[in-house]
Amino acid sequence: MKIMDCTLRDGANVVGNGFPADLTAMMLKGLVENGVSIIEYGNAKGLGAEEVGFPSPVTDKEYLEMAQPYMDKAEIGMFLNAKRYKKENVKYAATRGLTFLRVGADAGDGSKYYEVIDAVKSENLKCRYSLMKAYLLSPADLAKECADLQAHGVDEVTIMDSAGCMLPDEAGEYVRALKENISIPVGFHCHNNLGMAAANAVAAMHNNVDVLDCGLLGMARSAGNLATEIAVALAEKAGKNDHVDFYGLLNFLEGELVPAMEKHNYHTPIKPLDLILGYSGCHSSFVKTFKAVAAEYGVDVKRLIVAVSAIDRKAPSEALMRETAEKLAGNK
């Protein structure tokens, strides 16, 4: 299963239509260096949105220029609201080395936008397609539309729970219906308005979803998306992590992005260390001792918690922590 990080597109809604250049550069570098292989990038409202009243601190051309050093290190693409399609924008994006454009339209409207799909494909770009407000159709009808989109050349489809209104059984049913009726990859985009983003992601995974959309620290429009770090944790637990450096990503968040976003008044409810407690099954009452031992031995407290918890989650002793920390230090 792959992760598509949408922070640098959907996540930008938390600050307006786009992150400033310094945050954009920080996140792009952090994502690529930690093995996130698919990145949706650019103006929060999509390619060309700046031309119709949605300005961003970074223009489309500047976004494309900033991404140049990473084009051969990850699949980098942009969102394209089908209603804002312009042939010249698609052509320019292709000349600057994007891997894909993700065309977005409301579920049920796919046949209106075959011209947009054709334009993307004609420029030798991968055409991903987001079925926004997927819940407007039944799972069976959404699967039928996706079969038509596949027949028209779409390379991948995404079920978008745009209002965050689905429950896990519904999320699973939508993914299952598509997987049974099409052969192209199926993605799921979980918004968190009912607090169900992670639960819906698990349901999607149980039904063999190919791609999970997510955003660092859960950043996205409205109540946010499935957090990228939680998506990676879930994938790790399920044995489905596709080469993302879990600890490297958490350290990037803890050391760089969390402090930077706090300056923009964005506070994640689940910090990296809290995520590790859930991932490992470690009770928070042991954290103080873990931190002291990790500092003494110069090891990553998150790795120490996971290693010790694999041995004893009930009442890990300081002696066990020290023994494990010594081994981790010796393996550095």
Confidence of residue 23 (pLDDT cuts 50, 70, 90): very high
CA 194 centroid distance within chain: 18
Residue 240: burial class (beta carbons within 10 Å; 0-12, 13-18, 19+): middle
The per-residue pLDDT for range 236-254, each reduced to its tens digit, is 999 999 899 999 999 999 9
Reported as a single tens digit per residue, the pLDDT across 283-300 is 999 999 999 999 999 999
Percent share of the chain, pLDDT over 70: 100
Share of the chain above pLDDT 90, in %: 98
Compute the distance between CA of residue 61 and CA of residue 192 in angstroms, rounded to an integer: 31
- In the numeric block, the tokens 């050391």 are attached to 255
Instruction: Report pLDDT digits (tens) over 200-230.
Output: 999 999 999 999 999 999 999 999 999 999 9
Q: Are 174 and 139 in contact (CB under 8 A)?
A: yes
Q: Which CATH number fits domain 2-257: 3.40.50.300, 1.25.40.10, 3.40.50.2300, 3.20.20.70?
A: 3.20.20.70
What CATH number should be reported for the domain whose range is 272-330? 1.10.8.60
Residue 49 one-letter amino acid: A
Q: What is the pTM assigned to this prediction?
A: 0.97
**pLDDT-based confidence at residue 50 (cuts at 50, 70, 90):** very high
In the chain, domain spans: 2-257, 272-330
User: Is residue 332 scored above 80 in pLDDT?
Assistant: no
In angstroms, rounded to a whole number, what is the distance separating the alpha carbons of residues 186 and 320?
A: 44
Beta carbons within 8 Å of 1's beta carbon, 6+ residues apart = 205, 209, 210, 211, 212, 235, 238, 240, 241, 242
Q: What angle do helix axes 228-238 and 197-206 make, rounded to 10 degrees?
A: 40
Q: How far is Cα 137 from Cα 135, in angstroms, rounded to an integer?
A: 5
Supply the mean pLDDT for the chain.
97
